[in-house]
Amino acid sequence: MEPLFLRGSQLLRRILCKERLCPWKFSATFLAAKLQPPLRSSPRASLCVGATAHPAAAGSHRGGSESLLAGHGAPRRFLAGTSFNLPPSAQFVARPVGVCSMMKLPVQTSPEGLDAAFVGVPLDTGTSNRPGARFGPRQIRAESCMVRTYNPSTGAAPFHSLMVADIGDVNVNLYNLQESCRQIREAYQKIVAAGCIPLTLGGDHTITYPILQAVAEKHGPVGLVHVDAHTDTGDTALGEKIYHGTPFRRCVEEGLLDCKRVVQIGIRGSSYTPDPYKYCRDQGFRVVLAEDCWLKSLVPLMGEVRKQMGDKPIYISFDIDGLDPAYAPGTGTPEIAGLTPAQALEIIRGCKGLNIVGGDLVEVAPIYDASGNTALMGANLLFEMLCALPRVKTI
């Protein structure tokens, strides 16, 4: 009998030939998707990774005869009576079972047919202090196995409303920021061209600049709800114009932002100048300092933000360091006295009704957080962004 590894390598070679790919150009998620069993005939079909079907959707099936391994059932929709992807319930698939995709959603390599997609950008060579956000996407995906499908607090049922999948990671060049920005921009051009709303797992904040290049190319200058300890509107550092302290100045210079519709929330920390927010205010941004958020609900603020944003396209960029490091210590440039998780929920839920065309959750650097809570926070906040998207029904 042919050894298993030999058959595996032949299969791999066949895939590479068929896709005309060099071995260094594919990701683990690409391979995971390709090595799954063939698709069913649905035109919007995507692959099932890490999930057996819900028994309600597949009769009495419990890891039936077509499953090679527990948790790796044949591709199928998970929800009886709909064509949408539904993450598996832990009532039927144990949480640690399966390929580690965002919320254990199916992985597919293309944004075609998706209303929204989770995308990883594992870049951290734009960090100014502690590196480690390159591991953010993986850890957010790992912790996301705790996130369930409904949002009882808001009534949102995102997986009954939108076709969602994990489309893997952008293959960034960790040794070349400029090249990485090009790779990210080109990847997101394809995503938005497909009519798919990207929800990004970062990665340091540098990545928002090329993402917004692609988003603004499609939608025009966008409004921005930016949660962060820092304004990220520096000009240069060490003579470089691209790093995680400058993305929003680069966006302003390129006309990617509708500056009267930009709000920055949670801003704080020491600075090198007595008036560090002058540049932002001069552009027309609303800057909401952390002090102005302490010990209060942000629901009234978000009412004002909704008026500011109107009905034109907006983007949400959430730097996890906007939160207090007590809640999210796993990040590169922490600042004391930040927002609470409840305020983060108020901000994202307060965006419901806006014309959200994309969102990101950046700067999760898991190595500084033994508890895993920072990545867990990131996973939940990305789920909340999904719930706030247009066309998500409430029940």
Two structure tokens written together for 48: 């099932």
Confirm if 357 and 265 have CB atoms less than 8 A apart. Answer: no
Nearer CB in complex with Mn ion: 47/361: 361
Q: Is 249 in the site for Mn ion (CB under 5 A)?
A: no
Task: Give the integer Cα–Cα distance in Å for 373 and 149.
Answer: 20
Query: At closest approach, how far in Å is the CB of 145 from Mn ion?
Result: 27
* Residue 101 or 331 having the CB closest to Mn ion: 331
| Under 8 Å between Cβ of 92 and 55 | yes
Pick the stretch among 32-40, 205-213, 234-242, 303-311 that binds Mn ion (CB under 5 A): 205-213
- Measured from the CB atom, the residue of 143 and 232 that comes closer to Mn ion is 232
Structure tokens at 229: 């300890």
Q: Which stretch binds Mn ion (CB under 5 A): 148-156, 158-166, 170-178, 312-320?
A: 312-320
Name which of 33 and 227 has its Cβ closer to Mn ion.
Answer: 227
d(CA 323, CA 313): 25
Residue 248 CB, nearest distance to Mn ion (Å)?
9
- 115 part of the interface to Mn ion, by CB under 5 A: no
Contact call for residue 205 and Mn ion (CB under 5 A): yes
Q: Closest approach of Cβ 230 to Mn ion, in Å?
A: 5
Q: Which of 115, 143, 166, 319 binds Mn ion (CB under 5 A)?
A: 319
Rounded to whole angstroms, how far apart are CA atoms 232 and 287? Answer: 12
Q: Encoding tokens for residue 250?
A: 């680069």
327 exposure class (CB count in 10 Å sphere: 0-12, 13-18, 19+) = middle
Site for Mn ion in 40-59 (CB under 5 A): none
Q: How far is CA 263 from the centre of its chain?
A: 20
Q: Exposed e or buried b for every residue in 109-144, given b needs 16+ CB within 10 A?
A: bbbbbbbbbbbbbbbbbbbeebebbbbbbbbbbbbb
Nearer to Mn ion, 228 or 384 (CB): 228
Which residues inside 208-247 make contact with Mn ion, applying CB under 5 A?
A: 228, 232
DSSP state at residue 74? P
Of 103 and 227, nearer to Mn ion (C-beta) is: 227
In the complex, what is the shortest distance from the CB of residue 9 to Mn ion, in angstroms, rounded to a whole number? 43
User: Cβ closer to Mn ion: 77 or 205?
Assistant: 205
How many chain residues interact with Mn ion (CB under 5 A)?
Answer: 4
The residues of the shown chain that bind Mn ion, judged by CB under 5 A, are 205, 228, 232, 319
